[in-house]
Amino acid sequence: MSNRPLTDLQKAFLKALMSEEAKGNPKVAMQMAGYAPDSDVIAVLRSLRKEILDLAEEWLAGHATVAAYGMTEASQDALHPDIKERMAAMKDVMDRAGVIKKDGIGSLGDAAKGILFILPSKDEDESEPIPDEYKV
């Protein structure tokens, strides 16, 4: 979260925004926090942009474990009709939370970076002629 001082109204809005009642809806959160009904939603969102993004990032990080658990459960129920959509949604949550895919067992991954293969030069005399049947 930002270190700048926030008003009590702004703090209440941020708390309400991620509540079970508002579910991220800024209009509902403003109403819950006590903003006047004619308050400019866009102005409030702009003024708290950094804090809102920080909250969303924290929320996603907190739900990455739920997504990971869901992926393992879903993988055991491969016949579920919407398995692809469920797996994609859980993968998106984990990606956005910063959980990155690791290279599998036995893959070179980062170890392959920086490897240089030096091959001997190919002399034309040693090469076999191309048979006529393969020429274009």
What residues does each domain of the chain span? 1-47, 60-99
Taken in order 94, 99, 100, 106, the sign of the CA dihedral is: negative
Q: Which residue has the higher pLDDT, 118 or 63?
A: 63
Task: Read off the pLDDT of each residue in 74-103 and give the average, rounded to a whole number.
Answer: 75
Q: What are 41-82's pLDDT values in tens digits?
A: 999 999 999 999 999 888 888 878 888 777 777 777 767 777
Q: Which residue has the higher pLDDT, 117 or 62?
A: 62
Task: Read off the pLDDT of each residue in 11-25 and give the average, rounded to a whole number.
Answer: 94
The residues, ordered by sequence, that sit 6+ positions from 130 with a Cβ below 8 Å of its Cβ are none
pLDDT at 131: 73
pLDDT at residue 92 greater than cutoff 70: yes
* Residue bearing tokens 């006529």: 132
The residues, ordered by sequence, that sit 6+ positions from 40 with a Cβ below 8 Å of its Cβ are none
pLDDT at 116: 63
pLDDT at 44: 96
pLDDT at 105: 52
62 vs 86: CA distance, rounded Å: 18
The backbone torsions φ and ψ at residue 114, rounded to the nearest 5 degrees and listed phi first, read: 90, 0
pLDDT at 9: 96
103 vs 136: CA distance, rounded Å: 42
**pTM, 2 dp:** 0.58
Tokens of 117: 């293969």
> Are 13 and 35 spatial neighbours (Cβ–Cβ below 8 Å)?
yes
